[in-house]
Structure 1
Amino acid sequence: MTSSVSLPPQLAELVDEFAEVGPRDRLQLLLELSQELPALPERYADAADSMEQVPECQSPLFLAVEVEPEADRRVHLFFSAPPEAPTTRGFASILRTGLDGEPAADVLAVPDDFYVALGLAQAVSPLRLRGMAAMLARIKNKVRTATAA
């Protein structure tokens, strides 16, 4: 729970949940989260054309980031990942659950390596962890671009 101090509440809660279970159960928790990734709204129905691909992920993953124009610039995240890619979907679900609806400043304050606190290094490959880091980096870049405009 080292970095959960600077995490948005929902993301901190997920980090704590992962910390409370043993290494073997963390993968199971990730797989359960993969089933909670919501369906895309109609405007993103054709993910390949309307969303940005994250090529660092081992499975095809697309994301879209929307930032509200109001004062606190709340961030909304949308992900598309195939059901046969549960690890990738699980990572997307963690980011969606933990960051969707949060103010832009809070999203940008999330440590780039927050996923280390999830303790998944023993459960998934370093390549998969890099995919999660890439998802967060792209989200932050989109938020920075939207808030700078």
Structure 2
Amino acid sequence: MSSTDPGTLPPDLAELVDDFAAVGPKDRLQLLLELSQELPDLPERYADSADTMEQVHECQSPLFLAVEVEDGGERPVHLFFSAPKEAPTTRGFASIMVTGLDGQPAAAVLAVPDDFYTDLGLAEAVSPLRLRGIAAMLARIKNQVRAATA
């Protein structure tokens, strides 16, 4: 069923893809909504600083993200998102990114296929416009990781 090589996905992201693949289309949307409730709150240093975060304009709801890359060997990546509570799809996509990529080495984040989200099987559950939002999130995360590791 999967078109993405599971070896190119960090383990937590691969597990999420498997979770979505294991259920039918209606349940995928429910799983996305459940994930939306698990999006961590912003840490204090970002609480009033949307201006220091990057807006993902492709998302239908206002979504802002910040990427931090630690110094040192594996250079773990940390993701922070701000999305309104009344935007569960957007928050669900952000939660997928946090769950699947936060704490991963920069190289692993950069290796994630740009279209990995197609393996979530959400095309039947959400609009193509919304899927462009998750693609844009990943693109911006990768751009910020590249900038931080250059």
TM bucket (normalised to shorter chain) is over 0.9
Q: What amino acid does structure 2 have at the position aligned with 1:2?
A: S
Q: Specify the alignment match of 1:40 in structure 2.
A: 42
- Percent identical: 80
Q: Specify the alignment match of 1:6 in structure 2.
A: 8
Matches within 5 A, 1:1-149: 1-3=2-4, 4-148=6-150
Q: What amino acid does structure 2 have at the position aligned with 1:34?
A: S
Deviation at 1:47, TM superposition (A): 4.2
Deviation at 1:60, TM superposition (A): 0.2
Structure 2: unaligned runs, 5 residues or longer: none
Structure 1: unaligned runs, 5 residues or longer: none
Deviation at 1:46, TM superposition (A): 1.7
Deviation at 1:49, TM superposition (A): 1.7
Q: What amino acid does structure 2 have at the position aligned with 1:11?
A: L
Q: Secondary structure at the residue paired with 1:76? A: strand
Aligned length: 148
| TM-score in terms of structure 2 length | 0.97
Cα-Cα RMSD:
0.7
Q: What amino acid does structure 1 have at the position aligned with 2:86?
A: E
Q: Distance in 1 between matches of 2:9 and 2:82?
A: 24
Q: Distance in 1 between matches of 2:9 and 2:49?
A: 29
| TM-score in terms of structure 1 length | 0.97
Deviation at 1:71, TM superposition (A): 1.1
Q: Distance in 1 between matches of 2:56 and 2:48?
A: 15
Q: Secondary structure at the residue paired with 2:124? A: coil
Q: Secondary structure at the residue paired with 1:73? A: coil
Deviation at 1:48, TM superposition (A): 2.2
Q: Secondary structure at the residue paired with 1:59? A: coil
Is 47-56 or 95-104 further displaced after alignment?
47-56
Q: Secondary structure at the residue paired with 1:94? A: helix
Q: Distance in 1 between matches of 2:70 and 2:129?
A: 33
Q: Secondary structure at the residue paired with 1:88? A: helix
Runs of 4+ in 1 over 2 A off after TM superposition: none
Q: Distance in 1 between matches of 2:76 and 2:29?
A: 30
